[in-house]
Amino acid sequence: SSSSNSSNSTTATINTQDFVSGVAYVRLNRAIEIVIDSIQSLEGAVNSFDQLVFGLIYGRLGTRDESESIEGMIRLSRILNLSLPSRLSQDEIDALPKIIFVNKPGSTSSILLAEKCPICLTEFDDQETINKLHCTHLFHPQCISTWLSENDSCPTCRRKVMGD
């Protein structure tokens, strides 16, 4: 009788493993279906966007449906973050706050913990003039200038640099 119980528990274990494998297989298939559906939706949106651009170029827009599709494409581009990155002007970059970096060995001041520029990974020199953003991150002026000429946010925390 004990050998049949042993046999039954082995069968139950195998069946449980088969069940778990089956559930995993079904979940994987469903995930793949969702990805395929998402890709197809994006393809449709891209095709609609292409038609919209063609219509704008050749002046074929004018109906309410077409103007609503423009609004839809604008919303889609915002959702997909397809807009061109904002950047700072040279005047805005030049106006960034500057501080003198003071290297005090043994100091535990939180501002001095950032002893390297996060862009070039080079240590700040004692008495070096550096930029301090509103978010308190520190950078070499030439490093942050290059970054902000293409972006409008801190490269470390992504907080907007202007408008703080």
DSSP 63: S
Task: Indicate if 72 and 94 belong to the same structural domain.
Answer: no
CA angle 70, 77, 87 (to 5 degrees): 120
- Residues 73, 64 contacting (CB under 8 angstroms): no
Domain-located, residue 164: no
Please say whether the beta carbons of 131 and 148 come within 8 A.
no
The pTM score is 0.46
Express each pLDDT in 48-84 by its tens digit: 666 666 666 655 555 556 556 666 666 666 666 555 5
Kindly state whether residue 72 falls inside one of the protein's structural domains.
Answer: yes
Same domain, 51 and 95: no
For the cut 70, the answer to whether the pLDDT of residue 2 exceeds it is no
Residue 38 shares a structural domain with residue 102: no
Q: In Å, what is the CA distance from 101 to each residue of 89, 119, 142, 146?
A: 25, 16, 15, 20
In the chain, the number of structural domains is 2
Decide which of 5 and 126 is more confident: 126
**Domain range enclosing 119:** 90-148
For residues 16 and 70, membership in a common domain is answered with yes
Tell me the per-residue pLDDT of 75-129, one tens digit each, with 9 for 90 and over. Answer: 666 666 555 567 889 999 999 999 999 877 665 554 445 689 999 999 999 899 9
Indicate whether 68 and 99 sit together in one domain. no
Provide the CATH number for the domain around residue 136.
Answer: 3.30.40.10
Answer yes or no: do 54 and 111 share one domain: no
